[in-house]
Amino acid sequence: LCASDSYERREIGMTTKTISTRLAIVGRGAKCKGASVVEKSAYISRTTLDSEYYGKRFYPKYSEDLVHSEILLPPQAPKEYKDRSVLWNAVERVETHARAQLARTYNVSLPNEWSHELAKEVMRDYIRRNFVDKGMCAEFAIHDSINPKTHQMNLHCHIMLTMRPILEDGKWGDKQKKVYKYDRDGNKIRRKNGRYDCASVKTTDWDDPDNARRWRKNLADTASCL
């Protein structure tokens, strides 16, 4: 596969690309235009999926460029989440807020000289180390296409990541929790409005702004070793 794939790329005018990445959020808020994670999954996996939340069926616009699609799960995730329809419908079901953030997408432009098999192995390992081992459920799909005008390859990977942790019992956990403030006697402090003084604390570090830099550097370091 690798030998024949490399030969085909040289014949059509393969060029090397610099790895580039792009992060985005899929959500129901105005900025996200009420997007569906089921629709996003249907798009990257090139499969037809039904969204229970929206009551819609989403059809893939393309299919010929799909190289590989797969779902990777942390150990505590229900095994049925291997089915993308079950996973992303569960995400839409658990997020009840009108402006809920549903998933994080991470698009990666890959070196054109990579074979499809190499791209699959590298991205599976990269996603497992950076996301799944941290507790996220991840779906990734590798696409390869040819620009009709320049005849150049466009090898890239779409990644979808859950934003809510999964507890040891397989249930969805909270994205953040309330931490109450106490006085010297160990009593909760009340505000003037009668409510207890508290702060919201995220349950994971997945939203850390430095993650984008770390994920990109790890990908670049991985690619430089090949």
- The contacts of residue 156 (CB under 8 Å, 6+ apart) are 107, 108, 109, 110, 142, 143, 144
Task: Count the neighbouring beta carbons within 10 Å of the beta carbon of residue 220.
Answer: 12
Per-residue pLDDT, 186: 83
Q: Are 104 and 29 in contact (CB under 8 A)?
A: no
Q: Give me the numbers of helices (H) and strands (E) for the chain, helices first please.
A: 5, 9
Q: Encode pLDDT of 159-217 as tens digits.
A: 999 999 999 999 999 998 777 687 888 888 788 887 877 777 888 999 999 999 999 99
Sorting pLDDT into bands at 50, 70 and 90, what band is 130?
A: very high
Least confident of 22-26, 149-153, 217-221: 149-153
Overall average pLDDT of the 107-113 stretch: 92
- The contacts of residue 61 (CB under 8 Å, 6+ apart) are 43
Residue 74: strand, helix, or coil: coil
Distance CA 58, CA 42 (A): 6
Per-residue pLDDT, 14: 41
Residue among 130, 148, 86, 159 nearest 222 (CA): 130
pTM above 0.85, yes or no: no
Sorting pLDDT into bands at 50, 70 and 90, what band is 7?
A: very low
